[in-house]
Amino acid sequence: MFAGDRRPRSIFRVDAIGGALPPGWRLIMSSLIVRAVTGALLGAASLNALSFAYAQSSDDESRQDTVTVTASRLNLAPREIGSAITAIDRVAIEAGQIIALKEVLQDIPGMQISAGRPGGSTNVSIRGSDNDQVLFLFDGIELGDPSSTSTQFSSDNMTSLDIERVEVLRGNQSSLYGSDAIGGVINIITQRATEEGIRINAEAEAGGYAGVSSQHGDHLLKRGGVSLLGKNGALDYRLSATGTVTEGPSIADPRTGTNVTEDDDYWVWALSGRLGYRFSETFSGQIVSFYNSSSTDLDNTTSDSANNVDKKDLGLAAQLIHETEDGAWKNELTLSRYNAERLYFGPSYSVAGDLYEGTKDAALLISRYSGFGKVQVSAGLSWEDESTDQVTRFSGSFSEGITTSSVFAELAFRPVEALSVTVAGRLDDNERFGQFDTYRVTGAYFLPARLAGGDVKFRASYGTGAKAPGLYQLFDPTYGNAGLKVETSEGYDAGVDVNWANAAFELSVFNTDIEDEIAFGYPADKPFGGYIQFGQTKAQGVELGGRFAPTDWLSLSQSFMVLDAQNEQTGRWLGRPRYSGSTSATAQLTARFDVTTRLRYRSDNASSYGGRTAGFVTLDLLGNYDLTERIELYGRLVNALDHDYQLSYGRNELNRSLYLGIRARL
């Protein structure tokens, strides 16, 4: 949630989605899944086949030797990583016709989002975490708005056109990435030219409701984008522009609201760029930037409103890299800034708009050395300055800032050939809350070609975390509480990954405990509510993911999570779905034509906003056709069975919608 949205995060974390399956629901869900997958196998020609949304490349070399950037401050191969991590590449993004970052996340084990429609206010949860406990990185830029309730990032305006790869690191990562990473890290890596010459990528699509009655309102989407990539000797560059416009339907759901009569619109346009230069064999540098401008109509939880918000995001980063010719020693210096400005308009706000502006400046210096054989070490310094300027009629005005300096280190070693261990520690010095330390230990035991020819990796991790209160939580004149303390956490996970040439499987169990968690409540001295700390919360569960290509023309994928998240003192459920997941498959019907079927499902959820979100299953049908080697036509029927459903109570998701598009690589 963001300051100004007038839906403060509840003490029971019910702004999202959760609850138990009613009797018989699991059987119904299982039956639907079996029927859908059986239909895919038997009736591919009738568009009942399905594709991966989250899986990595199935190539043997990439499975075992590709460096994963996010899982460590060291350059570890996947076989050495003791954390749960999923990487989504460009091929999977295009095959799934994913147009926004938040869509990338829906089919990853352990992930949940609170809004799927364009323009919806989206919270991202990893293993039951809150959105402000997830750190977003964009090519080295730390994303987080200090003027929001707790320096969180809203991913609604981030499109997928430039994304080359998304890595999602699940579990407590504070010792590596700081206080915003209690739940995990989402690292967005954009495309970069690696071959000489110029390349242009372009795409456009349009669509809307397909056969929906007028009581649901209207819906129309138009979007497009173009990206120029090039390389000339030591210089590489990228420049991109995208735009999206949607018209309706209402954000407030007429089924759970009153007097819901108006459609709500949304638009965003964005620029993104990257400039890299190799000065010598050992020195290189790059500058990365992005800018988004958007406007979103807002509704109350159960009724229309005349409010809207205009938002601007600006991200900048400059990086210098030194690496010895043998690759053993690498040093990186990164300077970054993220600025978010939100202006709220409506009857409760000032004529000029209520302003919330946050800026996050960061500097990171990190050095890595891998010349000790089976031992690698890294150490670094980081500095962050967060500031916010709030000028509002709604809740008052203030201007505050806070600085945190940190030192951290990580050690990786292999005591025996099969076993990889990492140990990391961090000391943060916050100018308001003083010093606090965090640490993490991981282990990975790798057995090549052990299970029916498949590689097996057993992994486990344990880590602690700490998160300081946000500036809005501390200083807002109406809702703030200057007496808040640092949230602390500890958590572990353990799991197994198995990789074959045509299949992969991952299973994890996890547990996270948070002390002094901050949320919105109603203390005696705050008649309109305010931020408080309410003891210990626990999130624990099981997550699994898998992919299987039984033939060269058919591939299947699966993700699923069982989650138990509650307040340890009261036993109250924390507003996350107990069961969630997706099932999908793709059939390559001809050399140029493939079709996909995708199921997504969740159990019901209790909400303190006045009701429950019901459990649901949605079905999407997708098709991709290569008109030429450079031009692709595609279409998708979203929510094909036209189910009414909500991801967050009171928030209207889209009914059956048809979209057609074209993608060109020139």
Question: Which structural domains are found in the chain, ordered by start?
Answer: 25-665 (2.40.170.20)
C-alpha–C-alpha distance, residues 384 and 398, integer Å: 20
CB–CB of 369/328 below 8 Å? yes
Could you tell me which residue, 96 or 29, shows the higher pLDDT?
A: 96
Most confident region among 225-229, 391-395, 602-606 by mean pLDDT: 225-229
Q: Which two tokens stand for residue 97?
A: 């016709």
Question: Is the model's pLDDT at 80 over the cut of 60?
Answer: yes
Which of 48-52, 152-156, 660-664 is predicted least confidently?
48-52
Q: Give pLDDT, residue 17.
A: 33
Q: In the predicted model, what is the mean pLDDT of the chain?
A: 86
Q: Give pLDDT, residue 19.
A: 36
Question: Is the model's pLDDT at 147 over the cut of 80?
Answer: yes
- Which pLDDT band holds residue 581 (cuts at 50, 70, 90)? very high
Question: Is the model's pLDDT at 35 over the cut of 80?
Answer: no
Question: Is the model's pLDDT at 324 over the cut of 50?
Answer: yes
- Which pLDDT band holds residue 575 (cuts at 50, 70, 90)? confident
* pTM, full prediction: 0.88
Tell me how far CA of residue 45 lies from CA of 48, 405, 597, 623, in angstroms.
7, 59, 12, 11
Phi and psi at residue 410, to the nearest 5°: -145, 140
E strand or H helix at 547: strand 537-548
Tell me how far CA of residue 399 lies from CA of 114, 287, 337, 389, 471, in angstroms.
30, 30, 18, 5, 9
Contact residues for 58 (Cβ-Cβ < 8 A; gap 6+): 501, 502, 504, 547, 549
Could you tell me which residue, 571 or 512, shows the higher pLDDT?
A: 512
Q: Give pLDDT, residue 15.
A: 31
Q: Give pLDDT, residue 608.
A: 53
C-alpha–C-alpha distance, residues 183 and 196, integer Å: 40
Residues in the chain: 666
- Which pLDDT band holds residue 62 (cuts at 50, 70, 90)? very low
pLDDT per residue as tens digits for the range 440-462? 999 999 999 999 889 999 999 99
Question: Is the model's pLDDT at 261 over the cut of 80?
Answer: no
Phi-psi group of 88: left, alpha or beta (phi > 0 → left; psi -120 to 50 → alpha; rest → beta): beta
